[in-house]
Amino acid sequence: MNTRIKTDCTSEVLSFDEVRQFIKFEDTSEGDEVGLINNMIKAVRTHLERRLEMSFNEKTYETYFKHSEHPFILPISPVISITKVETVDYEGTKTELTLNTDYHKKGLYEIEIVPYSISTVPNPWFNFWSSEYDLLVTYKAGYGDDDTEDLPYDLRQAMLRQVIKWYDNRDDFRELNMMPEIDSIVRKYRKTFV
C-alpha cells in the first residue's frame, strides 16, 4: 500500500498568534523568528500525523492498494469523504467504481472499501495478470470538518507544549526531539492492528 497527499492543508491547526501568546513573543516584525515559529508549528503537526496515521486538518489523499493487500482499509483517519474508487489493471488502465453498486464502505474510523468486482480468491481459469486488479482510492481526511469532530484537546495541547519546548531549546528542534510527555498522549491515539 502506498499513500500520498494529493492536496495539502491550507492552514495550520495551531495559529501563529496562538503560539506567540504562549512563548511570549512580541516582535512580529522579526521575520526570521516568525518563520522559525511557523516551521515549528508545521513540523510538530506533520510529525504527529505520521506517527498516528491521522490527518489533523483537511487534506486529500490517494492510497494505492495491491490486489493482495485486502482488506482495503484506508490508512489515514478520520475520513471525511471518499471522492473516487478505481480499479487499476496490469496495464495501468483505471476504471471508476460506483458506491453501493460496485463497492461499499464500512466502518467509522477504520474505513474499509469492499469492491464487489475484485475477487479475493484467484480464479485458476484466468490469466494471472488479467484477473487481478489493484485499487486506487481518493479521499478527504481530517479533523474539524462538519462530518468529523474537532481535533482532540489533548493532542492540540501536546502540539502547543512541544512548540514551546522547541522554541526554548533550538537544538531539540533541529534534532526533532519530542518530549516524553507527548509519547504518553500519542499512545492513547495510536492505531493497533491485531
Same domain? For 42 and 64 the reply is: no
Using 50, 70 and 90 to split pLDDT, how confident is the model at 147? confident
Domain that holds residue 21: 9-56+151-189
Peptide bond into 71 cis (omega under 30): yes
Digit-coded pLDDT (tens) for 53-62: 999 999 999 9
- pLDDT given for residue 73 in this prediction: 96
Q: By mean pLDDT, which of 73-82, 124-133, 142-151 is the weakest?
A: 124-133
pTM of the model: 0.85
Same domain? For 110 and 181 the reply is: no
Same domain? For 64 and 50 the reply is: no
- pLDDT given for residue 151 in this prediction: 94
Digit-coded pLDDT (tens) for 12-39: 999 999 998 888 887 777 778 899 999 9
Same domain? For 77 and 104 the reply is: yes
Residue 108 maps to a domain: yes
The rounded mean pLDDT for the chain is 88
Same domain? For 52 and 114 the reply is: no
Same domain? For 137 and 69 the reply is: yes
- pLDDT given for residue 122 in this prediction: 45
Same domain? For 63 and 135 the reply is: yes
Same domain? For 79 and 109 the reply is: yes
- Split into its structural domains, the chain has a count of 2
Same domain? For 88 and 136 the reply is: yes
Mean pLDDT over residues 77-105, rounded? 94
Same domain? For 44 and 93 the reply is: no
